[in-house]
Amino acid sequence: MTKFVCGFALLAMSMANAAESYRVTLFQPSVIGGKEVKAGEYKISVENNKATMKVGKEVVEAPVKLETVDNKYGSTSVRYRTGEGKNTVEEIRMGNTKTKLVFQNRDQSGL
C-alpha cells in the first residue's frame, strides 16, 4: 500500500511540473489567439502547445510553440505585429531564460 501511495504522489508531482508557467505584463491592449485582451499582468501556463493566459477572471487560450535559444534573454519582452489598428502578440521572450513563446495567430495558422 505504501509503494502505491508513494508512486501516486510521484506521478501527481510529475504531472504538476509538466506545464511551464510564466508571468508577463502587457502595457497596451493586445490581440492573442484572435482575442483582444486588456493591458495587465498575466500568468501564462503552457502545456501541449497551448498557452493559457489569466488575469483576474479573464482567461485566454492560444496555440503556442516553445522555442529555446542559445543565450538567456536579459529581460522579458513582447514582440508585436501591428495592423488594422491592433497589436497582435507574435512572441514573448522570457527574461533570465532561454525560452520564447511563439504564438500561432489565427490569420497565420489558418484557424
DSSP, residue by residue, 56-79: TTEEEEEEEEEEE-SS-BSS-EEE
Least-confidence region, from 6-10, 51-55, 75-79, 101-105: 6-10
> Does residue 91 belong to any structural domain of this protein?
yes
> Does residue 13 belong to any structural domain of this protein?
no
User: What per-residue confidence (pLDDT) applies to 16?
Assistant: 45
**What are the tens digits of pLDDT across the range 10-69?**
444 444 445 789 999 999 999 998 999 999 999 999 999 999 999 888 899 999 999 999
Distance, CA of 99 to CA of 101 (rounded, Å):
7
> Does residue 56 belong to any structural domain of this protein?
yes
Calculate the alpha carbon distances from 80 to 11, 77, 91, 92, 105 in Å: 38, 10, 7, 9, 11
- If one counts the domains in the chain, the total is 1
- What range does the domain containing 50 cover? 21-109
